[in-house]
Amino acid sequence: MTNPAIILDTVSLTLQSKAGPVNILHDVSLEVSAGETVGIVGPSGSGKSSLLMLMGALERVTSGRISAFGQDYGNLNEDGLAKFRRENMGIVFQSFHLIPTMTALENVAVPLELAGRADAFDAATEALGQVGLSGRLDHYPSQLSGGEQQRVALARATVPGPAILLADEPTGNLDGSTGALIIDLLFGLQGSSKATLLLVTHDEALAARCSRVVRMADGRIMSDERGSA
Amino acid sequence: MLAWKLARRELRGSLASFRVFLTCLAIGVATIAAVGSITSAINAGLAANGRALLGGDVELRLTHRFAGAEERAWLDAEVGAISEVVSFRGMIGAPSGERALAQIKGVDGPYPLIGTIELADGDVAEALAVRDGVFGAVVEQTMMDRLELSIGDALRLGTNDVELRGVITGEPDRQASGIGLGPRVMVSQEALEGAGLLQPGSLYRVAYRLVLAEGDTAERLRARLDEAFPDAGWRWRDLSDPSPGTSRIVERIGTFLVLVGLASLAVGGVGVSAATRGYLERKTETIGTLKALGASGGLTVAIYLIQIMLLTLMGIVIGLAIGAGVPLLLAPTLRDALPVPADFGVYPVALFEAAAYGLMTALLFGLWPLAMARETPVAVLFRDVVESGRRFPRPIYLLGLFALFAALVGVTVVFSGNVMLGGFFIGGLVAALLAFALVARIIRWFARGLGRRQKITRGRPALRLALSSIGGPGSETSGVMLSLGLGLTLLSTIGQIDANLRGLIAGDISESAPAFFYLDIPSPQKEAFVMAAKKDSAIDRVETAPMLRGRIVKINGEVADPEKIAPEARWMLRGDRGLTYSSTPPEGTTLTEGAWWPEDYTGKPLLSFIEEEGRQMGLKIGDTLTVNVLGRDLSAQIANFREVEWRRMGINFTLVVNPAALQGAPHSHIATVYAAEGEEGRLTRMFAEDFPSAVAIPVRDVIERTKTLIGQLADAVRGASLATILSGFIVLIGVTAAAQRRHLFEAAVLKTLGAEQGTLMRAAVLRYLFLGSAAAALAIGIGALAAWAVMTKVFEAEFAFAAGSALIVGVLGVLATLFTCGFFARRMVAVMPAQMLRARG
Ligand SMILES: Nc1ncnc2c1ncn2[C@@H]1O[C@H](COP(=O)(O)OP(=O)(O)O)[C@@H](O)[C@H]1O
Ligand SMILES: [Mg+2]
């Protein structure tokens, strides 16, 4: 265990719903090393997405602590978290979450622009080339197929060179072969950048491509297997 | 019916998302219904009080003369009852020596035949009677105030004295006597005898109010009268239109305010359209499912059309309730404020008009998104994002839209009763809508282009975000531009016109305006009047002209029929026109065609006519006009046309003839007195002393009153446009709220990508600032254009851009958007990304 990338220390998450508070995660502890690839599997509703949201600092824990590269999320304010994400995280969602009013190129350039990179558009163009979308730079999301949108999202998440990649069922809305292409791209990008990857999926075969598999049920980690691949 | 059942099921629970739809529709309908109800109430009031307003069943009016013995005998024999009233302008002197212009009315014994003259205290017949050898007089409160009178004072009336005995509080036939320049003074006709006020050539009117004999009708009496006295020159008025001036003004203002209400509906239409589109977008999956389950495109449209119709009806009912209810609630206040009788109640026709406008607008604006929803492919269920192939609805719907629009134009023209006004207004509205839609497109295109210019956006992520949010697909740019823009345009137009009208009166006119017109200066006193004026140091200049009045009775030997000439010139034939003679062209006139007669010309009578009205009447050089002057017909040939600069406010006569043509006709003179401001009181007293019969019209007073009137009109219009501005603001909020879900989601994504709160806030402010100022700028431009058209074409004056009014519009536009922005952006900035991203799966 060298150089931990993310540490979760007895993390719990309770959300308010109309029917009252819902306990979504219970005392989850997890330590992920830099460069590791972790598959998170479990039945629907077991809390995988919630866990990923917390690790991506898109949500605050109800109790417990999360830190990444030694930075405790609890010590950062909203802007601090945004800055931290900008510098360290790339996140891919099941529903792509592209910004509909921006072209593919603009979508990919946004994180670089936010980071103040002068070469934002050049780098974005290159990143889109890497995912095979050189011919789609000026298309709006509504003019792209689901697979193409996810490739844009992938390029957007990876272009700043984040140390941590979070992917929440990136193939969930795609057909089989398109999904496979996305996964190959994801692992390819991870491999070249040596980023830490956390991949939520309910595809066991896909999870098996990771160096470590975490199984969840009812908001708890049930098992944590390493190096089976 | 299946569609009905499905529609009702769907609509349940989605009412909340139609708040903007309902509110906008209701506001527009309520405005039109309220205006219509008030107008109808006034018209009903006029009709119900027709006999009292007219003072009888029929009024016959003569100018400059009383009925001859033969005429009077005929009338006495033919009608049930008769009352003779003479009215004219004259000066009233107070014991203090102060003098004021009055609208004097001399009544006979039977007056009033119908209704009662109300005095603050006592009975009018008693008040006017002789007491201790002195006749009585009653006056309006304004006269009491102006001359600081008290009951019992001796009033100077020409060369007679009368005793002030009462204050008039109600005079039902006041309107019938014409809207006068001064307050009313009423005396008995005997009191006027020997006062030297009713001289040949001075302007007075004699009205004979008649009550029909048992079994007679107005038409039959008129026919018999025309047969007995074909050349008497009576002006006939009966109950079919007891107060034509008033009803015309009410009609005009009513029409205009309804159009302003229509503008508010148009803005509401933008809200209707946005709400319908938003609703249908949220129903995309449902529509796909319906289709997958075998529903035809037609059925889909039917289901949603029924829902839109139900909502429309709901909005209309709410609007009608408010529009009919508010005037009823305010009836006591309004009745006091209105100068005419009004019968407040529920007027179905007015409500129907409002409902028709509401229905057509809602359909017009709702049908497009509805027809587009029909094209939703079933595949929407299986793929995340689908572009429907069509950009336009099917031809049948386009046809429907066109028919609806044509119907709206038709209905507007019919209801407004004025093709020009209705047509221009709808045209202007459509043009403004199109302009804003077009500019919205240009702005989006421009924003996209600017966003690509990396030199501009590099290092300015907030600007980039703002630009792509404005320029990208599905942005609210059009909605914001239309809703905000139309409201601001109306405001801007009214502001510009108002400022220009005020400026026109305050500047051009009053600077060069004379202090007085003096009417009815007897010929023998003219020289003395001019001498007196020249001696006084406060008087800069005095101009005089012989003054007669004549009615155009024949054109080229044929009876002059108003129906045969252009409507805008008909008034030329309806009453007396000013007539003078002169050997040279009067000062300030320009001949546009023909030539002036030689100074010593004594041949066949020649005539000079004002150009514009002459053209409208279709007159040419060489045409012969026959003018009835004091009962005598004068035929003269048109020798020239002349242009009159009415803003000079000097003396303008429609007709000028060569001096020889009027040789021997009794006449008085009119004088225009130019004098320093503030000297009016002293000068009035001075002239009154030596020229008791001359009537002073204080021009500055009239200008002041006109300004007040314009101000009141502008306030009424502004009040009605409040509805439009309110609608605009609600639509703006609605459009923004509809876009809010998307902005919240975008903010969440951007935060995920590392955007800080400040960046997002700046982006939102920039976006709204940009849209707000663009809408305001365009509104100012269109408003100025519309105002220019109104000023130059309707008022034939110059247009000056009113920067102050424009500034207000600009500031309001920016404030409105910033307020909306502040209202929504806070949540956008505060949202935790997971909250939004989770909801989307
Ligand atoms: N906004 C929310 N409020 C309350 N409960 C939620 C909310 N979002 C998700 N949940 C619940 O939290 C649990 C975990 O959800 P999630 O993390 O999405 O699971 P997974 O991704 O494994 O399917 C589920 O039971 C879900 O119903
Ligand atoms: Mg999930």
pLDDT tens digits along B407-434: 888 888 887 777 777 788 888 888 888 8
Which SS3 state, helix, strand or coil, does residue A26 take? strand
Domain that holds residue A57: 4-226
Q: Angle at Cα B200 formed by Cα B197 and Cα B203, nearest 5°? A: 65
Which pLDDT value is given to residue B648? 56
Distance CA B80, CA A95 (A): 92
**Is A22's C-beta closer than 6 angstroms to any atom of ligand 1?**
yes
- A-chain CB neighbours of B746 within 8 Å are 99-101
Range with the largest mean pLDDT of B50-54, B506-510, B717-721: B50-54
Helix axes of A120-130 and A104-114: crossing angle, nearest 10 degrees:
130
Chain A from 102 to 161: CB within 8 A of any B CB: 102, 106, 110-111, 113-116, 118, 120-121, 140-146, 149, 156
Q: Which two tokens stand for residue B322?
A: 């408010």
- 3-state secondary structure (DSSP) of residue A174: coil
Looking at the CA of residue A219, tell me the nearest atom of ligand 1: 14
**Confidence at residue A110, expressed as pLDDT on a 0 to 100 scale:** 92
Contact A114, A189 (CB under 8 A): no
Residue B396 pLDDT greater than 90, yes or no: no
Predicted ipTM? 0.93
For residue range B793-839, list pLDDT tens digits in order: 777 778 889 898 899 889 988 888 888 888 888 887 888 888 888 75
Residues of A in contact with B445 (CB under 8 A): none
**Which one of A112, A113, A142, A174 would you mutate to disrupt binding with B, by most B Cβ within 10 Å of its Cβ?**
A113
Q: Which parts of chain A sit beneath pLDDT 50?
A: 1, 229
Is there an atom of ligand 1 within 6 Å of A44 CB? yes
| pLDDT > 70 in chain B, percent | 93
Domain of A39, CATH number, reads 3.40.50.300
Number of Cβ within 10 Å of residue B574's Cβ equals 12
pLDDT surpassing 80 at residue B98: yes
pLDDT at B175 over 70: no
Average pLDDT value for residue range B553-575: 80
Q: Using pLDDT thresholds of 50, 70 and 90, give the confidence band for residue B386.
A: very low
Q: Say if residues B528 and B671 touch (Cβ distance below 8 Å).
A: no
pLDDT for B321 equals: 96
DSSP B746: H
Distance A51 CA to ligand 1 centre (A): 10
Q: Count CB-CB contacts under 10 A for residue B803.
A: 10
User: How far does the centroid of ligand 2 lie from the alpha carbon of residue B637, in Å?
Assistant: 98
- pLDDT tens, position by position, B309-336: 999 999 999 999 999 999 999 888 888 7
Higher pLDDT, B719 or B126: B126
Instruction: Give yes or no for residue B618 having a pLDDT over 50.
Output: yes
Q: What is the mean pLDDT of chain B?
A: 83
- Say how far residue B476 (Cα) sits from the centre of its chain: 35
For residues B364 and B366, what is the distance between their CA atoms, to the nearest angstrom? Answer: 6
Q: Tell me how far apart the alpha carbons of residues B274 and B276 are, in angstroms, rounded to a whole number.
A: 5
> Between A56, A78, A101, which is nearest B474 by CB?
A101
pLDDT score of B840 more than 50: no
How many independent structural domains does chain A possess? 1
Boundaries of every domain in chain B: 1-49+251-417, 55-241, 435-513+700-841, 516-675
What was the pLDDT predicted at A213? 95
Q: Per the CB < 8 Å rule, is B384 touching A149?
A: yes
Mutate which of A49, A166, A199 for ligand 1? The one with the most ligand atoms within 8 Å of its CB, which is: A49
Q: Is the pLDDT of residue B10 over 80?
A: no
List, for residues B282-306, the tens digit of each pLDDT value.
Answer: 787 778 787 778 778 788 888 888 8
Phi first, then psi: give them for residue A193, nearest 5 degrees. -100, -10
Q: Which residues of B touch A (CB under 8 A)?
A: 383-385, 387, 451, 454, 457-459, 461, 464-465, 468-469, 471-475, 742, 745-746, 748-759, 832-835, 837-838, 840-841
pLDDT digit string (tens) for B799-810? 889 898 899 889
Among A147-156, B11-20, B191-200, B335-344, where is mean pLDDT lowest? B11-20
Phi then psi dihedrals of residue A202, to 5 deg: -115, 20
pLDDT category at B50 given cuts 50, 70, 90 is confident
pLDDT given at position B579: 87
Q: Which whole number is the average pLDDT over B477-490? A: 85
Give tens-digit pLDDT for B226-282: 888 887 778 888 887 776 667 777 777 777 777 778 888 888 888 888 888 878 877
Confidence of residue B506 (pLDDT cuts 50, 70, 90): low
Least confident of A207-216, B33-42, B722-731, B805-814: B722-731
Determine contact: A79 vs chain B, CB below 8 A. yes
**Confidence at residue B385, expressed as pLDDT on a 0 to 100 scale:** 43
Cβ–ligand 1 contact at A48 (below 6 Å): yes
Residue B751: pLDDT over 80 = yes
- State how far residue B490 is from chain A, nearest Cα, in angstroms: 31
Chain A, 196-225: which have a CB under 8 Å from a chain B CB? none
Q: Do B749 and A99 touch (CB under 8 A)?
A: yes
How many residue contacts between A and B have a Cβ separation below 8 Å? 118
Instruction: Return the ligand 1 atom nearest residue B838 CA.
Output: 8
E strand spans, chain A = 4-17, 20-33, 37-41, 63-68, 71-72, 89-92, 164-168, 196-200, 212-217, 220-226
Instruction: Compute the nearest-CA separation of B382 from chain A (Å).
Output: 10
pLDDT in tens, A67-119: 999 999 999 998 999 999 999 999 999 888 999 889 999 999 999 999 988 89
Q: Which two tokens stand for residue B823?
A: 């209202």
* pLDDT for the residue numbered B789: 86
pLDDT tens readout for residues B642-685? 887 655 556 678 889 998 888 878 888 888 888 888 888 888 88
Percentage with pLDDT > 90 across chain B:
21
CB contact under 8 A, B754 and A106: no
> What pLDDT score was predicted for residue B384?
45
**Tokens linked to B268:** 């509401």
Assess whether pLDDT exceeds 90 at residue B573. Answer: no
Q: How much distance in Å is there from the Cα of B281 to the middle of ligand 1?
A: 26
When pLDDT is averaged across residues B617-646 and rounded to a whole number, the result is 86
What is the residue whose two structure tokens read 């023998």?
B524
